[in-house]
Structure 1
C-alpha cells in the first residue's frame, strides 16, 4: 500500500533499533488487512527518551507505539492508563492513542512467549524454569509462565535492585513460586530462558552456560536478531533442544491486531481489557 498524506503512523522505539523485527511483520499485516498505516523504527537514545516520546505524541496522525529494549519500564510513565498486566509488571511494550487523546499501555511479551512455546509443543504447566534477566521482558516472561502454571521459576540478574523488584512484584501474586537463583540450575529444571539483551552483539558473553543445565532442558532465547544466537548454537552443540526469539513476536501479532483495533479483531477474546490510571508522562 502506498504511503500518502492520509497514512496513519505507528513507531517502534528502541536503543538500539536495528535488530527490531516488528516492522517486517506489522507492515505486511497492514497490507493484508487493507489498513492505510505504516510502522517505522525509531532509534530513541535512552538519555533522550522523554524528548522523543513527547515529539511523537504531539503528532496528530500517530496512533500507536511499540517498545523494545531498554524502554519497556520507563515507557509506563508516558501512559495515562495501564492494563492490569502492565501495572503488575511496571512494564509496557505497546501503547495506543485512545479517541479522547489519552494513551493506554499494555504488555504482550509474556503472552507471546508462552503462546510460542505452546505452539512448539513445549509444556509450561508444572515445569521448573531457570530465567536469566529481570528487566521488562524478564518480568513479562516470568509472569506469563507463572500464570499458566509453571511450578517454580528461579531468576538470575547481575542488577540486584532490578532482581529485587521482580521478586517483589511477582511474589505478591504468586507467593512461594519465584526465587532468586543461588547456584547452578536445579536438577529438575526443564526450561531455561534468556530474557536479557545478551546475544544482540556478536561479542556478547553467554547469559548462562548451557553445559550447566540438566539433559534435555529446553533453551529459549528472546533475542530475535540474530535468529540463532550464540546461546542457541552452544545449546544445539550440546544436544539440547532450542526455541528462538522470533516466536515471541510472531505470536503477539494477533494481540497487536486486537489491541490497535485493526480489522478482524475480536474484543471478547482479549485478556487485557481492564486498566487503571498511570502516572502522568514527564513534561
Structure 2
C-alpha cells in the first residue's frame, strides 16, 4: 500500500465520494490518512468529513446513500451503534461489537456494515510491542468504540478484562454480547483495589477537548502499566501526558486508525477500482 503523503486529490465529475460522519467531526484523521491512499492506489475517489448532528443522522445518511456516486461511509463518535440501522448486511464483527465504523454500497445495491475499530486497535497494540494476549486489561468506555475493542481484546486472548462505564447498562450490554466468547474472562466494573493490571484503555471521547476531565487517574496505576488512548486529535491527550509524567508507557490513538487503512482498502475493494494505467490497477488481487 502506497502512502503518497502530501498528494492532493484531483476531483472531477467522475470522482467517487466517501464520507466520514461524526458529531463533532473536526477531530477526524481519516481524510488526511485515506486520501493519500486513494492517490497512491490510483483510485479516483475522495474522503470528506461530514458533520452529522445526532438528531439528524438518519437524514444525513439516507441522503448520502441516495447519491449515486457515494460508495462508502466511515463512522465515528457518537454514531457507531446507530449506524447499524443503515445497512442491510452486518458482519460478525458488527454483531459482536454492537456497532459499525464502515459502510459500503455493494454491487447488489445493498449496504454492508463492518467494524474495524477493535481489529485496528489490537493490531496497533501488537505492532507497538504491547500484545494483549494473556494480559489483564481495564477498558474505560463501553460505547461504540469500546464495545468493538472489548470484543477484539477477548478474541485476542486477554486473561482478564474489566469493563467500566458511567452507564452500567452499556457494560451489561457488552458482557451479554461477549458471553459466548469470554469464558468468564470479562467482568463489569473496575478491578479490585490492588489487583494487578497490565493495560488500561480509554475508549471514551474524554480528551477531545482540552477542558475534559481525565477518564481515570494514571497516578493510581502501578509502574509499568500501559496507558492507551483512542482519541486521535490531539495526539498527546491530557491522559497520555499525565501518564507519561508518572513514568508509565503510553500508546497513542492514531495507531488504531493507521492499522485500519489496509482493512479499509480491502473492504472498499480499492485495488479493483484503481485506474488501469496505474501500477495498482495492473497487479493481481492475489
Residue correspondence of structure 1 range 27-176 to structure 2 within 5 A: 27-176=35-184
The match for 1:230 is 238
Q: Secondary structure at the match of 2:85?
A: helix
Normalising by structure 1, we get a TM-score of 0.92
Instruction: Tell me the CA shift for residue 185 of structure 1.
Output: 5.9
User: What's the Cα RMSD here?
Assistant: 1.5
Deviations 1:136-186 (A, max 9, x none): 111111111111111110011011211111111112321311111245565
User: Does 2:12 match 1:4?
Assistant: yes
> CA–CA distance in 2 between the matches of 1:203 and 1:184?
29
Deviation of the 1:213 alpha carbon? 1.3
- The answer to whether the Cα contact below 8 Å between 2:104 and 2:112 also exists between their aligned partners in 1 is yes
Residue matched to 2:269: 261
Aligned partners of 2:138 and 2:200 also within 8 Å: yes
Give the 3 Å change call, closer, same or farther, for CA 199–185 of structure 1 in structure 2. farther
* Deviates most, 178-187 or 63-72: 178-187
Of 242, 257, 265, 1:249 maps to: 257
Give the gaps of 5 or more residues in structure 1: 269-283
Which residue matches 1:199? 207
Conservation of the 8 A alpha-carbon contact between 2:232 and 2:253: yes
Distance change in 2, residues 1:266/1:206 (3 Å) = farther
Moved over 4 A (4+): 182-186, 264-268
Structure 2 SS opposite 1:189: coil
TM-score computed with the length of structure 2 as normaliser:
0.91
